[in-house]
Amino acid sequence: MKIWIDITNAPHVMFFKDIIKYFKDQGEDVIVTTRDFGDIHRLMETHGIDFISVGKHGGLGLYKKLKESTNRVNEIVDIIAPEKIDVCLAKHSVELPRVSFGLNIPNVYIIDNEYAEAVNKMTLPLCDRIIAPSVIDVRKLMRYGVDPNKIISYDGTSELLHFKNFEYNEKIFDDLDIKLDLNKTILMRPEPSLASYLDVDSEKSVLSPIIDVLKDYANILVLPRFKQQADIFEGINNVSILEPPIDLSSVIKQCDLVIGAGGTINRESAVLKTPVISCYPGETLAVDQYYINRGLMFKYNNVEDIVNSALSFLVVDKENNDYNEYDVSSNNLFKTIIDCTYRL
């Protein structure tokens, strides 16, 4: 069987790495495409994934996004059409459903954002199978033109697959040579300011006023999404800028607290049982609410509330919880994707 997987965002590397390995171990021919965006290439190389880089992210503005996506479709068609692909997979890729539909290739599509209106409208009606967390209301997907019979639900969130073969490195801070002057450490992730589904100012970050206060109480590790975000936090006392590729899962596990203005890293923290505060400046996703309801994530958008909650976490020692209770859900999601791919 010949399988095509399109990876268009850095977290999707973690999601697909074990799936790609499984298919290759089974003797399947796997073609992986990606684009020039953020840390995708370095993460692919770190995990030993062979890939074809096609196109790039359009950046800010609808015109550039549309132009780059259209160019990418044209380039991918020339690559994929001669390959006679049997089935393809992606997670929120805009281009794969359009190409696979045009070339009559069955596709499996994984989603976790019911509010990404533009992407969902352009992709979901073209998908043969849609794998979505059961916490997402099917009616919200149907408004994008989805046939509910094509939706396959699972318990949990996609981040479960990120830890399928995770080995915790307790010496990660030493390995990264991070200077830690204070007793507590907070990992922070800025908002996805280039995303089409979020209307924010890319010249600043919602984390800035939070860091201004908390840098006096804890070491701050910032994981920016691109260089312009890194520049926002450069040179601030007690603030270190992380540069991928790194063992981010071990960093999360080692930190006392995570404050994220995005989504993936917050849910990863919840899975690993590291206290996490979400300050995501958009609608609360169902997959975030899943962990909020379980007391594994807290959501605030007011700076004072975020700071007060953070300080309350810093005065107590973090419990050394085990994340292995999620192994069953992780294996169920993995099996769902594999079975769905072979059945198409």
**Contact, 164 vs 337, CB < 8 A?**
no
pTM: 0.89
More confident residue, 195 or 83: 83
For residue 154, count other CB atoms closer than 10 A to its CB: 20
Q: Is 53 helix (H, G, I), strand (E, B) or coil?
A: strand
What pLDDT shows up at residue 57?
Answer: 78
Confidence of residue 196 (pLDDT cuts 50, 70, 90): low
What pLDDT shows up at residue 198?
Answer: 52
Q: How far apart are CA 56 and CA 35, in angstroms?
A: 5
* pLDDT tens digits along 292-306: 999 999 999 999 999
Beta bridge partners of 5: 32, 89
* pLDDT tens digits along 155-193: 999 999 998 888 999 999 999 998 888 999 999 999 986
> What is the pLDDT of the chain when averaged over all its residues?
91
- Residue 147: pLDDT above 60? yes
Domain segments of the chain as ranges: 2-164+328-343, 172-322
List of residues 6+ apart from 128 with CB closer than 8 A: 106, 107, 108, 109, 150, 344
CATH 3.40.50.2000 fits 2-164+328-343, yes or no: yes
Q: Is 158 exposed, middle or buried (0-12, 13-18, 19+ CB in 10 A)?
A: buried
More confident residue, 62 or 301: 301
What fold is seen in the domain 172-322?
A: Rossmann fold (3.40.50)
Q: How far apart are CA 263 and CA 36, in angstroms?
A: 21
* pLDDT tens digits along 3-34: 999 999 989 999 999 999 999 999 999 999 99
* pLDDT tens digits along 98-145: 999 999 999 999 999 999 998 999 999 999 999 999 999 999 999 999
- Residue 199: pLDDT above 70? no
Q: How far apart are CA 45 and CA 219, in angstroms?
A: 29
What pLDDT shows up at residue 37?
Answer: 86
